[in-house]
Chain A
Amino acid sequence: MDLTTLTYIAVGLSFALYIGIAIWAKASTTGEFYVAGSGVNPVVNGMATAADWMSAASFISMAGLIAFLGYGGSVYLMGWTGGYCLLAMLLAPYLRKYGKFTVPEFIGDRFYSKTARIVAVVCLIFISFTYVAGQMRGVGIVFSRFLEVDILTGLIIGMSIVFVYAVLGGMKGVTYTQVAQYCVLIVAYTVPAIFIAFQLTGNPIPQLAFGSTVNGTGEFMLDRLNQVVTDLGFLEYTTTSKSTIDIFAITLALMVGTAGLPHVIVRFFTVPKVRDARSSAGWALVFIAILYTTAPAVGAMARLNLTQTVQTGPVGAEDGNLVFEQRPDWMKRWESTGLLSFDDKNGDGKIQYYNDANAEFAAKAEQYGWKGNELKVDNDIMVLANPEIAQLPNWVIALVAAGGIAAALSTAAGLLLVISSSISHDLLKSTFTPDMTEKQELLTGRIAAAVAIGIAGYLGYNPPGFVAQVVAFAFGLAAASLFPVIIMGIFSKKINREGAIAGMLTGLVFTMGYIIAYKGVFIAPILPNTAEYWLFGISPEGIGAVGMVLNFAVAFAVSKVTAEPPQRIQEMVEHIRVPKGAGAAVDH
């Protein structure tokens, strides 16, 4: 069977599975629509959280990013996993105890303020839409490469599937489809990794192959990789050009941002008990770690494979480079997508791939008769092309396509759901039209989800120029706005309404202003985005960490000089700190 047919079968079967689950898990109450009736087993919720969390970026882009960043890619590995410790220990159990439907609802109640709640809704909607546009783009890319349909058709198919299970099933439908999507994506990710690890090192476990010797030599893979890339003028794989403070700040912003993302937090509202919320975060991290510890191995192996494919012999030797006409088929296929390109600058018909920005090496390359780097490879190719590079059977490639779509759809659905619940529950039900019946609220939630899907699809098809730059936004804003106020709401009884609102706004405005100043979103950047212009040498990606500190500081200072929270709020805080049921903690 040819690749396209197989891909249609794999993707089609996975879609049939998701729709089947949606029909089985249709939500009939607002409780089921918002939080799956709080009846989800903690291990199952952990798996759903993992799929919810791992987006198209984790599945498609991350290993490729690491392949080209080397040690510098560690910020994503630590940053996107370490936040689960914060979630498990500082947020999830207490928010579960509080037992409501949305994150802004907690913030509004704890800080006895509708303003605080609306500020939180604004942060949430901004963060979530930023994120969802990227997911829809990912769906479009996978469809256009593997199913050979245009991006618009791909998007419409993807949106229809999400529509069916998010609008019908609500959180209940989303939860159980996410479990299925996790299974699809993790198999799709690990199978090629295992094959490649075995081919390269003889050890089938990628995490171990990462530290094994290359087949037929006594040389460790990472040593070989360092050698091969430095020979071509690139930075040693296990080092980075980023400053320590920047690495520190980016990792912190990503960790704290993870713990402040509404679509992740809300997953812990779906388990029955406080102790389930704690263990569920642990399970989520185990399921995430399977992919996140495989990814750096995939990145390193892909970089080594790619470099050795192009640099077939000693650097500078007459026959040391790949002859263009003899390039492997996968290169030809990816050229048609524009994600891989070759430009024969010195007209020798061979591909030279090296770091021409390195002045010292560029001088050496001149002597070889090289006239600049001739190969451009997009980060996103690495995972998708991996099975082709390793010459794996077609069914593995089809599986990877289904996995990429699963990763994008599961995250998109989770995001769309928090957007719709914020609109129907936080804005309409609680602020503007409080006399809605449950049935009307449920209908509003469904309509809001449908509208949000439409907007997300539009953003995916017409990505505003800044989509690639706004990832820093989503994490920076979550880190600087939502995370600190939730933590302070639980761990301090003295933080009041004024402090929380001032803190959130400070974090939000500072982080947003800094990112816009260097990256420019609706306007041209005001300052050049280079280290000498950055505050303390921290890049816009890491500035959320500073925004978070400012949020804490301002909230403490303002709370000190304004009236204490009312007694009932202080009692409520004591109540959420203890797992046992209602009344136990306030029973003086």
Chain B
Amino acid sequence: MDDKSGAEYWRRNVKLVLTLLVIWFVVSYGFGILFVDALNTITFAGFQLGFWFAQQGSIYVFAILIFVYVRQMNKLDREFNVREDE
């Protein structure tokens, strides 16, 4: 791999991670902490929404984010031909 595609691979990697970490931040620190009172005025299925994000929802989203990351990185590895041998 030459320097140019190496830099491009890294740029795309960092961009993906930043995007996912923004979601990570919003569901936990945003919905679960900073805006919890506002969201608690919304209720669904017996939960106050902010409370649900703090004790349930953020954890589900965390797990999903990692699998999205794995999938996107595997794609990126193939595209730039940097995948380890099978």
Contacts and interface: CB of A to CB of B under 8 A. Distances in A.
Interface of A: 66, 71, 73-74, 77-78, 81-82, 84-85, 88-90, 93, 207, 210-213, 220-223, 238, 244, 247-248, 251-252, 273-275, 278-279, 281-282, 285-286, 289, 292-293, 296, 491, 574, 577-581, 584-585, 587-588
Contact of A81 (B36, B59, B73, B82): B59
A251 B67 contact: no
B28 A220 contact: no
Nearest to B68: A282
B48 A222 contact: yes
A484 to B, nearest CB: 16
Contacts of B73: 93, 275, 278
B46 A85 contact: no
Nearest to A587: B1
Contacts of B46: 210-213, 220-223
A483 to B, nearest CB: 14
Interface in B1-27: 1, 3, 6, 9-10, 13-14, 17, 20-21, 24
Contacts of A78: 28, 32, 54, 58-59
Interface string B22-52: 0010001100111010001000011110011
A544 B81 CA distance: 40
Contact of A71 (B28, B45, B54): B54
Nearest to B74: A275
Contacts of B34: 244, 248
The DSSP consensus for interface residues of chain A is helix
Nearest to A273: B84
Contacts of B21: 85, 89
Contacts of B83: 275, 579-580
Contacts of B60: 289, 293
Contact of A211 (B28, B45, B59): B45
Nearest to B13: A577
Contacts of A579: 77, 82-84
13 contacts: A81-B62, A88-B69, A93-B73, A212-B46, A247-B33, A278-B69, A279-B67, A282-B67, A285-B62, A289-B62, A292-B59, A579-B82, A584-B1
A112 to B, nearest CB: 22
Chain B interface size range? 35 or more
Contacts of A74: 32-33, 51, 54-55
Contact of B84 (A84, A244, A581): A581
Contacts of A81: 58-59, 62
B33 A244 contact: yes
Given A85-B24, A251-B28, 11 more contacts: A71-B36, A77-B58, A78-B28, A82-B62, A89-B66, A213-B46, A238-B51, A251-B33, A274-B84, A579-B82, A580-B1
A241 to B, nearest CB: 14
B55 A211 contact: no
